[in-house]
Amino acid sequence: MIRLMHEIASMPEFDLNNYPESTVKLASSFKAVAGYMKSRSFRKVNRDVFVVSQNGFDMHKADELAESFQEVNEALDGFIQEIKSQGLWESTVIVQGSDFGRSMNTNSNSGTDHAVSLFYS
Amino acid sequence: MYHFKLIPITVCSFSFNKHIQGQGSFENPSVFSFFLPEFSPPGVVGSAGLVSPESMILSGDNILTLLDASYSTTKFGLIDVGCKWTSSSFIDWKHYYPFACPDTEGDTSKSPAVMSYASLPTSSVDEIIDDLDLLLTAGRLQGSANRAIIRSIVEPMMSDSVDKATRAAQQLVVSTPEYHSTSLPRKVDNPRVITGYTEKPKAPYKAVVVLMLRGGCDSWNMLVPKGNCATADAYQEYVEARGIVHAIPKNNLLNITTTDQDCTEFGVNENLPIVADLYNQNQAVFFANTGTVTKPITNKDQWKQEMGFRPFAHNTMQEMFYTGDPKREDIGTGVMGRMLDTLNNQGLQTSANNVNSGMTMLSGDPTYSNPVFTVSTKDPAVLNQKPTIDNLMEDVKVLNGVGDVDNSLLSEQWSSRVASALFEHE
């Protein structure tokens, strides 16, 4: 029994051999999500919610937004290709969010500080 | 208890490495270290309105690794977790010391550290258990149902080998809620029943995947007003406000257009082409100017008093994103957990799946006790190799059996997490 998950993961219908290669850590999280989505009929589930998170957006010093966005882009690109090939793209919503926005102006370390995106609604 | 001949900075049996076990020396993920003080886990602790910061790392993976590492140390001394040779913290060290996986249970000859502690030589099963109870659980096993269970498993092993029986007792004791919390558990002996769905779902499949960008993403440089604006040159205002360091040149922005906004031309950060492409295919939408302010406020100094939370703090605002509940009307639940509760009540076969940091968002109302599963990004491991006790994990389920109504909250928390970790694994 204890080995069951291991055996399931190695079954051919659950393989993700065509999943795009990536060295980005976030991509391995999305790959795991794609694997779970592929096992939906085995789990007998028809409404899945997944939460993935990525650290490193608190850019008080250098502006590393480009690198961070590139990682997000690469991870999303691979994931979207996979779920399109699984035929699940039209059944999937991807939501992206964050703590808050950042200050408009630059701080003395060439970074930006915390700001609020807290509009009353 | 141990005499170390050669000690690496990480103890490989326990692989003190946050990627394997949730925590590691010098590996705290942020300035908040490993645990957020306000973390309220799903289950009994959360529904009592209490917090349990350490529960943040009680994911299925971490629990199984912790238990397996404890069993391995008992059986083999310091070796790799599960002897899989995949622990990155250990691989470098291995090159300096010839390691191999022991072939037999109880073989500590491959371990670089020698276990030099031995309890008084005894052939009494009660003395062995009492000794471990004193050392590991501060007497909490005394007279408990779990002590009786451990005794019933260990006693038949005594005639064969006292050493092996002692190792069995050690592994059973470190699996108990008495060992993992400092309060007295009250439980019955039935394993917790967690079942998956048995019927094939009727409605077609749908999924939501949430990507949380932790730290406060610079949204001003994700979506930029670019041109054709009604009231003013918004791009020029953007450049003036952001300054030369952060303003993105117009040519580096990926074009998107819209209607019913002050500007019809916007730009997406060039490093997010997939987002711009999806928008241009009518497959993506931006929500700007959204948040959790509960009343109109103009004075920055009054935000904390007026709203009851700090709008500039990462931990608070991440919680706001996860819970969508600034007035705290449904404590202990997250926005996705509540949504799944509603769908589940309508007969849909739901599953809340946490990859990382999503427990708060996925927690539902305790009334419905919908579980939150852990999505493993690692290869599923085979637990408890070369066992001292066959089917040890079945005993672990009984040791962490159904709690009585007056069970201690932290014991209940640990035991319910163990049960769901084993369920996810199987």
Contact A44 B196 (CB under 8 A): yes
pLDDT at B379: 56
pLDDT at B385: 75
pLDDT at B88: 39
- The answer to whether residue B280 sits within a structural domain is no
- pLDDT tens per residue, range B410-422: 888 888 888 888 8
Contacts of A66 in chain B (CB under 8 A): 269, 271
- The answer to whether residue A68 sits within a structural domain is yes
- The answer to whether residue B236 sits within a structural domain is no
pLDDT at residue B180 greater than cutoff 80: yes
Higher-scoring residue by pLDDT: A62, B203: B203
pLDDT at A72: 96
Contact A100, A51 (CB under 8 A): no
Mean pLDDT of B319-346: 90
Q: Which residue of A has its CA nearest to B380?
A: A6
pLDDT at residue B366 greater than cutoff 60: yes
- The answer to whether residue A37 sits within a structural domain is yes
Contacts of B314 in chain A (CB under 8 A): 58, 99, 114
- Calculate the average pLDDT of chain B: 81
At residue B111, what is the residue type? S
Mean pLDDT of B169-195: 84
Higher-scoring residue by pLDDT: A51, B115: A51
- The answer to whether residue B329 sits within a structural domain is no
pLDDT at B85: 41
pLDDT at B305: 76
Residue B343: which of A47, A76, A105 has the nearest Cβ? Answer: A47
Tens place of pLDDT per residue across chain A (121 aa): 344 555 555 666 667 778 888 888 899 899 989 988 988 888 889 999 999 999 889 888 877 899 999 999 999 999 999 999 999 999 999 999 998 888 888 888 888 888 875 544 3
What CA dihedral angle connects B226, B230, B233 and B237, to 10 degrees?
Answer: -90
Alpha helices in B80-154 (DSSP H): 88-94, 125-137, 145-154
Residue A69: which of B200, B269, B426 has the nearest Cβ? Answer: B269
pLDDT at B86: 41
- The answer to whether residue B413 sits within a structural domain is yes
Q: How far apart are CA B318 and CA B214, in angstroms?
A: 8
Quote the minimal CA–CA distance from A80 to chain B in Å: 9
Query: In terms of pTM, does the model score above 0.80?
Result: no
pLDDT at B284: 95
- The answer to whether residue B373 sits within a structural domain is no
- The answer to whether residue B73 sits within a structural domain is yes
Number of domains forming the structure of chain A: 1
User: Residue A81 in 3-state DSSP?
Assistant: helix
Contact A32 B321 (CB under 8 A): no
- The answer to whether residue B269 sits within a structural domain is no
- The answer to whether residue A115 sits within a structural domain is no
Contact A40 B205 (CB under 8 A): yes
Predicted ipTM beyond 0.85: yes
pLDDT at residue B13 greater than cutoff 50: no
Q: Given pLDDT bands bounded at 50, 70 and 90, which one contains residue B136?
A: very high
Least confident of A8-12, B130-134, B228-232: A8-12
- pLDDT tens per residue, range B275-289: 999 999 999 999 988
A29 Cβ contact partners less than 8 Å away, ≥ 6 residues apart: A52, A75, B355, B356, B375, B377
pLDDT at residue B99 greater than cutoff 60: no
Give helix B162-173 / helix B145-154 axis angle, nearest 10°: 150
Domain of residue A24 covers 4-91
pLDDT at A92: 96
Residue A44: which of B201, B321, B424 has the nearest Cβ? Answer: B201
The answer to whether A72 contacts chain B (CB < 8 Å) is yes
Report the residue of A98, A102, A103, A104 to disrupt the B interface, i.e. the one with the largest count of B CBs within 10 Å. Answer: A98
Q: Which residue of B has its CA nearest to A110?
A: B245
Domain of residue B10 covers 2-22+59-194+387-425
Contact A33 B340 (CB under 8 A): no
Alpha helices in B249-375 (DSSP H): 273-280, 303-307, 314-323, 335-345, 359-362
Number of domains forming the structure of chain B: 1
Q: Given pLDDT bands bounded at 50, 70 and 90, which one contains residue B183?
A: confident
- The answer to whether residue A23 sits within a structural domain is yes
pLDDT at B382: 65
pLDDT at A2: 43
What CA dihedral angle connects B61, B62, B66 and B67, to 10 degrees?
Answer: -40
pLDDT at residue B299 greater than cutoff 50: yes
**Which strands sit side by side in the sheet containing A47-54, from one edge to the other?**
A92-98, B206-213, A47-54, B350-354, B372-374
